[in-house]
Each structure stands twice: as structure tokens, then as C-alpha cells.
Structure 1
């Protein structure tokens, strides 16, 4: 048979890989299957060889009937025991390595479970999570307070705007009152100017009447003087002429004075008429200003009503925001209390879990120690049995190999 690969199992017909071992001594030659051992491999080789020999004997049975039969196999209990001991020792070495690896993994897991730094880190993480939740709740409460302050500032602005609107409405009403007062004064001035114009017209009429009367009187005096002059003689003509000239001069002077007074009265009447027209114009302007002031007052009252409605709306919104902020604050406070309680429960649970894990680690450590002690005891027993078997093998002779040509030697 061709030699097998150093990394594959030496059992006939098996191509599984051999697990590598870091323990000192002879390296393993068989895979991790429990039936693939050195003794069974030798038996399997013997069986395969016997099958090969039996097939060859059947082929040559007709030609070689006189050939001597094969000698029976010699019993070798010591060799079998030694092979069995080697097999058990190899298996124990593999199991000891597996147990050592398992114990190392368990020791690492238990060390990770019982690491105070890990437990403290987990507790610190729970505490940090609770602190983060508390900070979130606090930030939400601060945001609600900011919204409440903003609503209060809006309400204060609305109150200021309403106060400004009320002040503007009052100013507009005062302006309207002043406009009405100016209108009344203009109307009074117009009435006075009209009265002055009527008085000037009456004075002009009286002056005209007086002028007519003076003129008639002068004419009458002239006629009387002329009549007296005609009755007097020529002697009186010069004196009459002088008197006539004097009377005419005085009449002309009086006529000029009367004409001047009449023109003055006419000028005064025209000025009074102009003042009356100006008063009427100012009265019209005053009426326009009064109407404009009344319109502005009405507009201001409308704006004041709008601002009052806006103030009421903002007040209602502010009250609603205050209620919502209070509810939000209470909700966040309840959530904060709940999260603090949950964090405390989580911390207590983590402490209990850590204590339980520490107890489990102690228990597992004790069990691992007991298993290690049992494994060491089994190893000592196996070593003692191996030494005893090796002593027996050294005391007895080696087994005699088969003498037939088709047989193979036993395992070395």
C-alpha cells in the first residue's frame, strides 16, 4: 500500500485531516473519529490483506490443491493490550487538549463575565442613558418655557399695540373735536362777516339817503336863495352870487365828502363781502377738515376694534399656549420621573444580574476545578495503567509473526 499523507488519517480508506496538536510527544496519526485508532487500523489492514489473499487463493485453488494450509494466527494479548493502551493514551491526549481548550474558553468567558470593569462599564452605560434621557426631558421643558415666554412677549406686544391703537383713536377723536370746534368758529366768523356785510350795506344805504337828502336840501336852499335873489334887487345880486358860490362850493364839498363817504362805505362793504366769502371758504375747508377728521376717527376706531379683536385672539392663543406648555411640562416631568425610575430599576437589575453572574462564575469555576481534578486523576490512572502495561510488555516476549507468504507483520 502507498504511504498516506502526513496530514491525513492513517486509517485505511480514510482521507480526513488529522488535527494538529501543540502538546509535546508523538504527533497524532488518525482523525477525530473514535473508531479510527491504531489497533483498528491494523485490524483493517489485516482484513484487507486477508481478503486479497483469499481472492488470490481462490484463483489458484485448482492448480495448487496440495499447498499447505495457512497456520492459525497466534494469540497476542500483550501486543493487543499495548496497542489498546496507545490508542487510549492518544485519545486521552486529544480529549485532554480539547478539555484544555474548552477550559481556556470557559476561563475567558468567566473572566469577561466577572470583569468588574465590564460590569462597571455596563452600569455606567445604563447611567449615561438615563442621564441622556433626563437631559432630553430637561431640554424639552426648557423649550416649552421658551415657547411660553415667547407667547407672553407676543401678548405684551399685542397689549402695547392695542394701547397704541386706543391712544391713536383718542388722538383722532381729539382731532375731530378740534376740527368741529374750528368749523363752529369758522361758521361763527362767517356769520359775523355776514352781519358786518349787512351793516356795511345798511350804512351805505343810509349814506346814500343822507347824500340824497343833503343834495335835495342844497338844491332847495339854492332855489330859495335864487328866489330871494330874484326878489332882491340888483344890489343883492352880488351878495347872492357870492352866497350862491359859497353855497355851491359848500355843496360841492359836501357832495365830495358824501361821495368819499359813499366810496368808503362801498369799499367797506366790498371788504366785508370779501371777508364773508373768505369766511365761507374757511368754513367749507373747516367742514372738509371736520369730515376728514370724522373719517379718520372712524378709521381709527375701526383699527382700534381690529386691534382689540387681535389682542383678544392673541390672549386666547396665549392662554392656549400656556395650557399646552403646562401640559407638556407635566408630561415631561412624568416622563422624567418614569425614566428615572426605569433607570433605577435597570441599575438594580444590572447589579442583581452582575451578582448572579458572579455567583454563576464562582459555581462554574468550582465545577471546572472539579472537572480538572477528575481529569488529572484519570490522567494519573491512565499513566499508571500505561506504565503497568508497558512493564508487562517488556517482561513478555514479542509476538511471532505469521510465516505464510501472504501474511503481513503486526504493527511496530
Structure 2
């Protein structure tokens, strides 16, 4: 069968790479893909935009594409699944109504309240003065979130009231465009974060291995939030007993609440959780797609064919699908970013050393790269995701960093403490 993957990041490279391991998948198309997917055997990049629903649909119909996998949140929030389904195509990814779990933090909070899902106390504001008054009444630390999609950068964990007020003012001044004209102000939760990527057909929901992401730009979890600077799986903090609670208290009630609202949700429900010092899971946020870079740490460990799992979700057969099978060991992923990310950064810088990195046994997933006259160059803020699988975290992390050290481009930056909690 032929599969089409929509998106251009490290997550999409990992999805294409994993799909191609299935004996049933003969070819994968990526729209628009990146420099890494361009080099994958039996994979072809297409120069279409992720928002060109008509072009994507036409290509899929003409080329007998059996399954379309939507990577990023923006086309999901814009209704790509609804459009393609109307063309009679099979799509792994929720409808526009379902994508609201990520596209609107205020809507998501209301859903959680309705379903009694454990989460931080919060208030929603469309007026800066009211939000600031609320912060002054609550005190700090406190969390300020732009309501809409802001590419993982719309959240400020404010240590002081003045930081929170500055974040509110920036949001209403247009820092995140329309996404920031409503803000959610939330209670600060302490503990360790965990990412639970779960696949669902809208009735049954199954978690993949738990992962932990490193969102801050700097070592020791310092500096501004990013789209993610590295990840590892399975996260030791999520024990089997805790995963059972997450399934029962969070995943199943969320799917039931969506169904109650007559929302057909087939794809990934990604729960970003805080595991409190008391050991309780609380939802920080929901996302409507695979996590990035968590996917790059989870998929190398998956033994079950990804295409079969996705089709079971799309065709609502997940309840009869066999238990997921996993490879032994653990995985760690280190993100290499461009100098200046998550603020301004340069593109078009030549990349060297990827073949040497792969020769160490690591997997190099491309995120912000492209092929320019057969030369790989940088084309984004997060440039490469280097993943290694090992029998324990010490081995996997050491191998990932050994591979990172063979890669070169001007001003490249990466955190040097990915997986520190797993080792501790």
C-alpha cells in the first residue's frame, strides 16, 4: 500500500521511516517532507503546502494512497481530516472539532472540567486588565498560556507576578497573533512532566510507551520554552501502576467526553502530564497529534507495524487489535538546534557529518533541513534529532551524544543533559 505523511519535521521523518519498515508499505509520500525524507528509500517528497487540502486530496486519489497520516497540528485545526474524508480518503488524525483539544486551551479546559479530569485550576480571559488583576490576586509562580496554536512557544511559567504580567501584555499586544487574544491563566503545578501518546479510534484508546520531553532551551531546564530539545522513553517515572491510573482517570474519560459531544476522534491523543510529588497525574495540556521529539524516541522501540495500528484506528477496529509489541531497551533523542532558536536563527547553513553519526548506530531524524543542489542545509530552528537505542539509559544517552559530536554546522546548539532524570 501507499501512505502519505503530511508535515516537514523530525516527527514526520520518524513516521515515514517507521511506516517503511512494514512489509505492506511499498511507498511513502511526504508533503512537503525535508532533507531526510528526500534521502529515504521508497520515499518521495512532494512540493505541496500542508494547507493545500485540494492538492493533497487530488494527489492521494490519483495515486491510490491507502492512508494519509497528518503530522502537525495546524492543518488538523484547519480541518484537513474533514476535507479529505469527504473525498473518500482514509485519514489518521482527528476532525477539526476533535483538534480543538489542542487548538483552544480554553475549550480543552472546559472539556476536562466536564469529564472530571485532574488538571490545574485555571481562568480564561479576553481582557488583559482582568487577567492581570487575577494574577495579582493569585500570586506567583503562575502559568500564562496563549489560548490558540503558538508552535509550542505560547506558554510562560512565570516565577514572579511581573513576569506573568509581562507575558499577558505581550500576548494581548499580538506576540502570538490571534492565538494570544484569549489567555488561560493557570495554577502552577510542581513535579515531573511526562508525555503520554495514545492512539484511539474514538471508542478504544491505547497508550504507547511513556516519554519525557525537555522543553526548556538550556541545561538544567533553564531559559524559555521550545518545541522540545530532547526526549527519552520509556520514562521511568510512569510505572505500570501509574499508567493504569492514567488510562482510567484521564485517557478513557477524555475519549468518552469527546464522544458525548459527538466528536469523531481517530488518531493520537497526546496528554502532557505533571506527575505531582504525591505521585498523582494531572493534565497540563492535550495535543491532537504525535509529540515532537517524543515520537523520535518512542517509534524506534515499537515492534508492532505502525501502518496496521493506524488502520485499526481509522477503521474503528482498535478493540480487536492485538496488544502492542515493544523491542527491549530504551531510547534517547537529542535535538540539535540552530543558534538563536527559539528566537531568530539563520537558515541555509551547510550540514556535515550525518553519515558518520549514522555509522555509530544512531538514527538521525531530520527536522529543519532541506536538499539544495544535492547539499544538505539547515532550514529550521530545530535542525536534527539524533536517537540511539540501548539496553539502559546510560548506554543510549552516551551513544546519542557520541553521534551528535560527529555532526557540524555553524553555531549548532544542543543541551548536554538530555535524560539526566532517567540516569539519576
Greater relative contact order (Cα 8 A, min sep 6): structure 1 or 2? 1
**Which structure is higher in helix share?**
1
**Which structure is higher in strand share?**
2
Larger Rg: 1
For normalisation by structure 2, the TM-score amounts to 0.14
